[in-house]
Structure 1
Amino acid sequence: MNRLFVLVGPSAAGKTLISNFIVNRDISRFDKILNKADLETQKLMIENFKKAKTLLYKKEFKKVITSTSRCPRENEFQGVDYYFYTKQEFEEKILENKFLEYVQNFGNYYGTSFTSIKESIEESHGIIVIDDDGARKLKETFKNQVVTIYLDVSIKTMEARMKGRNESLESYKARVENLKIINYKKEADYIIDANERIDLVILDIVDIMN
C-alpha cells in the first residue's frame, strides 16, 4: 500500500524544502544554506544529503501539490511548488467542491484538491506539506494510509529563520502570533526536532519513511 506522508509544523520549520528534496533528491536547493556554513560543516552536510539519497534509492515519492492564491516567492514555480491561482479563481474552485480542505491565512487561500491527492498515491508514495486542520482531514479520509510527521521548532529558531527570508514586518508578526499549529504535536504519528541542521532532520524523516 502506498503511503501519504504529511509534514506539519510552524512556519520556517523547513517543511517545503524537505519535501522537495524527498521528491527530487536535488542537493543544489541547499546551496544558500551550505554557503553559510564552514567547510567542515559543508562536507558533513553534503555527505548526509548523499546518505539520504542512498537510503531513498528505489523509493519513489510524488508531491501532493497544494493550491494557493498568494503570489509565488523567489524560485517557486507553477505546478511544482504550488498551483497558483488568483483569489477569484480559487473561490470559484471552492464553490465547485474541488478541495478536500482549504484555509485563509494572512489574506491568502491555501487548499488541497482531491485530484492532487489521488494522483500522488496512485503509483507511488505521496508527500504533502499542510496545516493541522488539513492533516486531521487527511487522516479522517485516508485512515492508516496517512503518516503524519510534526516538525518541532522553537519560537527562537522560527524568528531567526523568518528574518532571513526578508519578509514584511506585518507578515512576520502575523506568522509568529499564529502558533495554533503547535497544539497538533501531540496528535502526530511522529515528532522530529527541526531545530537541528536540515540534513539531520532529513535523515530522521527518511528513517521514518523506511
Structure 2
Amino acid sequence: MKRKRLKYPFFVIIGPSGSGKTSVAEAVFPAEFKVISHTTRPIRKEEKDGIDYYFETKEQFKKLVDTDALAENDQYHGYQYGVGIEELIRKTTSHFAYDVLTIDGFQQIERQFGNKVIPIFFKVSKKNILARLQTREDDNETVKERSALYDVEAQNIEKVITYPNHCIINADQPFETVIDELKSVIMARNLLLD
C-alpha cells in the first residue's frame, strides 16, 4: 500500500528510560503537536485517554495491526504501542509534530515516510539515569529493570547517527538547557525541511 507523504517534519524523540525525553518534549512542543500513540498499557491515574495515549484492549490493538492502520508498532515492558497512520498524517498537515518512541518505532516510520521523520536522541549517563529513576519510581524492581535496559537503549545512538537528519542532545545538562537545545534543533530542522 502506497503511503502519503508527510507535509511537515515528524520529530521522534528517542533515548534511555529516565533520560528526561518525555518531560523535555512536553515542555517544548505544544500539546496539540503530539502524535498520540495507541497502547495496551493500563491507564495511570493522572492520564487521560485520547490525550496521553489511546488506551486499547489487546483485541482492539490487534485489529489496528491487522488492518494496517499503524505506521509502526512495538512492544515495551510487555505492552504494545503503535502510531496510527491517519493520526500521523493529520498532525503533520499544517505543522510539524512529535512523539517519544523506541528506535524500532522510529525506523518503521522512517522506512515509510523518509527524511521528514527526524530522530532526536537524548544521550545521558547511567549515573544520572539511576538518580532520576530512583526519584520517580516507588518500586525498586522497576528501577532495576529500567536500569538494566540502559545499556541496550544507550547503544541505540549508534543506529541514530546513521540517519542524515539525526540530532544528539546531551540530556546530562540542566533541564532548562536541554529545553533550549531541543528548541534550537526543532527550529533549524524545520526550516531546512520546509
Question: Is TM (by shorter chain) over 0.5?
Answer: yes
The correspondence for 2:106, drawn from 125, 135, 143, is: 135
Residue matched to 2:186: 209
Shift of 1:168: 2.5
Pair 1:125 & 2:101 matched:
no
Secondary structure of 1:122's counterpart equals: coil
**Superposed CA RMSD:** 1.9
1:13-70 per-residue CA deviation (whole Å, 9 max, x = no partner) reads: 1222222222338xxxxxxxxxxxxxxxxxxxxxxxxxxxxxxxxxxx7111111111
Instruction: Work out whether 1:24 is the aligned partner of 2:1.
Output: no
Q: Distance in 2 between matches of 1:97 and 1:168?
A: 36
Matched to 1:109, the amino acid is: Q
Counterpart secondary structure, 1:64: coil
Q: 1:12 aligns with which of 9, 12, 18?
A: 18
| Contact 1:106-1:174 within 8 A present in 2 as well | no
Give the match for residue 100 of structure 1: 71
Alignment coverage as a number of residue pairs: 175
- Decide whether the 8 Å contact of 1:159 with 1:176 is kept in 2: yes
Between the aligned partners of 1:97 and 1:154, the Cα distance in structure 2 is 38
CA drift at 1:136: 1.4
How far apart in 1 are the matches of 2:113 and 2:167? 17
Aligned to 1:174: 145
Paired residues of 1:69 and 1:90 also in contact (CA < 8 A): yes
> Which residue of 27, 34, 56 corresponds with 1:85?
56
Q: Residues 89-122 of structure 1, C-alpha deviation per residue, up to 9 Å, x if partnerless? A: 2223222222122122222111111122111101
TM-score normalised by structure 2 residue count: 0.81
| Aligned counterpart in structure 2 of residue 160 of structure 1, from 122, 131, 146 | 131
> Which one-letter code corresponds to 1:92 in the other structure?
K
Do the aligned residues in 2 keep the contact of 1:19 with 1:63 (CA within 8 Å)?
A: no
**Shift in Å at residue 10 of structure 1?**
0.6
Q: Give structure 1 stretches of 5+ with no counterpart.
A: 26-60
Match of 2:155 among 154, 161, 183: 183
- Conservation of the 8 A alpha-carbon contact between 1:106 and 1:171: no
**Per residue, is there more helix in 1 or in 2?**
1
The Cα shift of 1:204 comes to 0.3
Tell me which residue corresponds to 2:172: 195
For the 8 Å contact 2:28–2:182, the answer to whether it is kept is no
Letter in 1 for 2:155: N
Most deviating of 69-78 and 140-149: 69-78
CA gap of 1:167–1:120, structure 2 versus 1, over 3 A, is farther
Q: Is the 8 A contact 1:87 1:108 kept in 2?
A: no
Runs of 4+ in 1 over 4 A off after TM superposition: none
SS at match of 1:78: coil
